[in-house]
Amino acid sequence: MSSAVGARRKTGPVARTVAQAKVNLFLRVLAREASGYHQLETLFCRLDLGDAVVVRTGVRGRSLDCSGDAMPSQGIGPVERNLAWRAAEAYAGATGWPNDWAIEIEKRIPVGGGLGGGSADAGAVLRCLNALAPEPLPEAAMLLLAAPLGSDVPFLVTESALALAWGRGERLLKLPALPVRDVTLVAFPFGVVTRDAYTWLDDAGRGTRPDAVAFSTDDLSAWSGVARMAHNDFEPVVTAHIPSIATTLGVLRSAITAGGDPNAIALLAGSGATVFLLGADLPRGEVRVDGVTSRTVHARTADRVVAVEVSD
């Protein structure tokens, strides 16, 4: 399935990269601000699973094409709401360049699953435009552009595979990548709207944690330390509203018990609906629990960020 907006001629310089998905190895939602936004404390980790992103400048008009196995049946929706499109508009608005662009995305990341697919696309578009720009922006300026697009985008515009983030995701501490591990993702045939997850959190009185949890970055230098801290504040409220997610997490945690790996982790990805398993394995194919059939996607944690390649 493909969705396209705008006519163009495919000429001019081209930048391409892979918009890598992310998981939150821990995610704590702190106090809600007067503005309605919540402060976060999270550990971001990139995966080797990603959307293929191509950006062209020197074209006539502005366009966005999306295709791929992970495209939702209803398409990408209004182009002005698409994060990749908004990222290009933000870059052009801040720098005065480019006037026109052509963006092509092959969707491979499950949509609406908490894996940051749209945010990864936005980060990739910003990185591609910056690689093509006559006067590239420094990273600090890129983070300022990324922050209004969403709490995942600042991390996904950096060259870091692992980072601790605070605030609305714009405060980042880059960390050395952890050793690569296999990851099994269980992708449901539905997603969770992030706004709904926050509402459930607030309604349950859980979105009021006043302070971050004290820890040392030494705790994040090995999987053993990360496993001790693994947690997701969204998990109790999302599973309460969607019992099939709770049942699936139970299946994953049973696999951990059977495997005997003390550093294994099973968590909800972001605000859901995808859940992920590190340190144990599930069969490839489908998982059926509570009458819901989900598919397993096998990936690995990333120890690097895929570079942007530029060509004429």
Enumerate the active-site residues. Answer: 22, 152
Q: What is the 3-state secondary structure (H, E, C) of 9-60?
A: CCCCCEEEEEEEEEEEEEEEEEEECCCCCEEEEEEEEEEEEEEEEEEECCCC
Q: Which one, of 279, 263, 262, 72, lies nearest residue 182 by Cα?
A: 279
Q: How far, in Å, CA of 28 to CA of 232, rounded?
A: 6
Q: Please report which residue ranges of the chain form alpha helices under DSSP H.
A: 83-95, 117-132, 139-146, 153-156, 194-203, 223-229, 235-241, 243-259
Q: How many CB atoms lie within 10 A of CB 232?
A: 23
